[in-house]
């Protein structure tokens, strides 16, 4: 297709740049400016809306392309092969073409609002300047091809299941865990800290397992889960906590999502996360909340998972 051909040209223009970027740099975990969690949440919300509007099949293909690209990484900078670089660009171009332009620009504008204007120049200073300029020129030509192939309206909203066992179980889980949710400091910057003692390549293995799980999920249920999160963001209070009803809808949506993949795929995520998450992390989280609320939430979760398991 046209976007695939354009991605090859984009690769010609940008692969030198890609090789110069230190993809393992811890800087990418930082907020791109002043730490403003509620503003950042607005930007994430725009990404969620864009994801929910995208063609689920193309999202799945983009996840698969990323998984493949992780498999061909080489060198200290963590760069993928030229062919996989092109394949990721092509897949993302197709995702972008599957949503109306305004959804893409809403992401751009909201990310701009939390990004210090000095960031682009600083990033450029870390690589060979002319290569960065060549890559940007390539991006501008690529985007014209994407725009030419872009839809005018979003794909249809998800069909949300109702009256199912997972929905019922989600009510019990949410009743048991909402007090715990209210204890959590959602506006803390602790969640942006690097995982203690772990390198970027080690952490990437756990992310890869999440990508694999995402690629196997039912597309309609993934869209429904994204829509539920968007709705939940719309009802947060000043501390970032969503309403009880929206929290319940998120739990139901995630439960159905988990049930749409094999149990072993979920356990691969858990086991790879357990490898990179030191036990000091859960303990630290636990120390900041009411312990009775956390234990009640945990009981709720371990009961919920038995219902989900029946549908895996």
254 makes contact with ligand CLA (CB under 6 A): yes
Shortest Cβ distance from residue 174 to ligand CLA (Å)?
8
> Which letter, b or e, does each residue of 127-164 get, where b requires 16 or more Cβ atoms within 10 Å of its Cβ?
beeebbebbeebeeebbebbeeebeeebbeebebeeee
Q: Does the footprint of ligand PID cover residue 245 (CB under 6 A)?
A: no
Q: Which of 240, 251, 217 is nearest to 38 (CA)?
A: 240
**Binding track over 270-299 against ligand CLA, x by CB under 6 A:** ------------------------x--xx-
State yes or no: residue 88 binds ligand CLA (CB under 6 A): no
- Binding segment (CB under 6 A) for ligand PID, from list 117-125, 127-135, 242-250: 242-250
Q: Does residue 281 belong to the site contacting ligand DGD (CB under 6 A)? A: yes
Task: Collapse the DSSP code of 76 into the 3-class scheme (helix H, G, I; strand E, B; otherwise coil) and give the result.
Answer: coil
Q: How far is the CB of 81 from ligand DGD (least distance, A)?
A: 21
Place of tokens 């858990």: 270
Indicate the SS3 state at residue 74: strand
Residue 199: CB atoms within 10 Å:
12
Contact pattern from residue 26 through residue 55 relative to ligand PID, giving x for each residue in contact according to CB under 6 A and a dash for the rest? -----x---x-x--xx--x--xx-xxx---
Binder among 58, 254, 272, 300 for ligand PID (CB under 6 A): 254
- Using CB distances below 5 to 8 A depending on partner kind, what does residue 135 bind out of ligand DGD, ligand CLA, ligand PID, none? none
Taking residue 87's Cβ as centre, other Cβ atoms within 10 Å add up to 23
Whole-number Å distance between alpha carbons of 126 and 104: 27
Q: Answer yes or no: are the C-beta atoms of 219 and 57 closer than 8 Å.
A: yes
Task: Give the x/- contact pattern for ligand CLA in 201-240, rule: CB under 6 A.
Answer: ------------------------xx--x---x-------
* DSSP, residue by residue, 99-145: S-HHHHHHHHHHHHHTS-TTHHHHHHHTS-HHHHHHHHHHHHHHHHH
- Residues numbered 109 to 138 that lie near ligand PID (CB under 6 A) are none
Q: Which does 177 bind (CB under 5 to 8 A by kind): ligand CLA, ligand PID, ligand DGD, none?
A: ligand CLA
Among 110, 177, 265, 272, binds ligand CLA (CB under 6 A): 177
Number of helical (H) and strand (E) elements in the chain, helices listed first: 14, 0
Instruction: Round to whole Å and give the CA distance between 223 and 233.
Output: 15
Q: Give whichever of 104 and 257 is closer to ligand CLA, judged by the CB atom.
A: 257
Least Å distance between CB 286 and ligand DGD?
7
Name the one residue in this structure whose structure tokens are 């963001």. 233
Interacting partner of 13 out of ligand CLA, ligand PID, ligand DGD, none (Cβ under 5 to 8 A depending on kind): none
Provide the binding-site residues for ligand CLA, judged by CB under 6 A: 44, 48, 173, 177, 225-226, 229, 233, 251, 254, 257, 294, 297-298, 301
């Amino acid at each position: 297709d046209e976007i695939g051909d354009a991605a090859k040209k984009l690769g010609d223009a940008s692969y030198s740049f890609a090789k110069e970027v230190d993809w393992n740099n811890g800087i990418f975990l930082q907020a791109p400016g002043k730490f403003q969690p509620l503003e950042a949440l607005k930007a994430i919300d725009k990404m969620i809306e864009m994801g929910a509007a995208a063609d689920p099949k193309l999202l799945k293909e983009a996840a698969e392309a990323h998984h493949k690209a992780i498999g061909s990484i080489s060198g200290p900078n963590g760069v993928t092969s030229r062919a996989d670089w092109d394949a990721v660009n092509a897949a993302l171009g197709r995702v972008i073409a599957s949503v109306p332009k305004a959804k893409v620009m809403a992401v751009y504008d909201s990310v701009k609002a939390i990004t210090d204007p000095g960031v682009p120049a600083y990033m450029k200073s870390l690589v060979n300047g002319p290569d960065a300029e060549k890559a940007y020129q390539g991006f501008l030509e690529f985007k014209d091809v994407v725009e030419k192939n872009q839809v005018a309206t979003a794909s249809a909203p998800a069909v949300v299941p109702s009256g199912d066992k997972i929905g019922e179980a989600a009510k019990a889980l949410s009743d048991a865990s909402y007090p715990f949710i209210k204890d959590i400091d959602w506006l803390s910057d602790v969640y942006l800290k690097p995982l203690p003692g772990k390198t970027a390549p080690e952490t990437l293995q756990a992310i890869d397992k999440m990508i694999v799980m995402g690629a196997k999920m039912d597309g309609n249920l993934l869209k429904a889960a994204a829509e539920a999160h968007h709705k939940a963001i719309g009802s947060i209070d000043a501390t970032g906590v969503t309403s009880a009803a929206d929290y319940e809808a998120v739990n139901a949506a995630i439960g159905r999502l988990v049930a749409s993949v094999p149990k072993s795929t979920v356990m691969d995520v858990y086991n790879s996360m357990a490898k990179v998450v030191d036990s000091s992390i859960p303990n630290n989280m636990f120390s900041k909340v009411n312990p009775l609320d956390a234990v009640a939430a945990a009981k709720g979760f371990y009961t919920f998972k038995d219902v989900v398991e029946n549908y895996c």
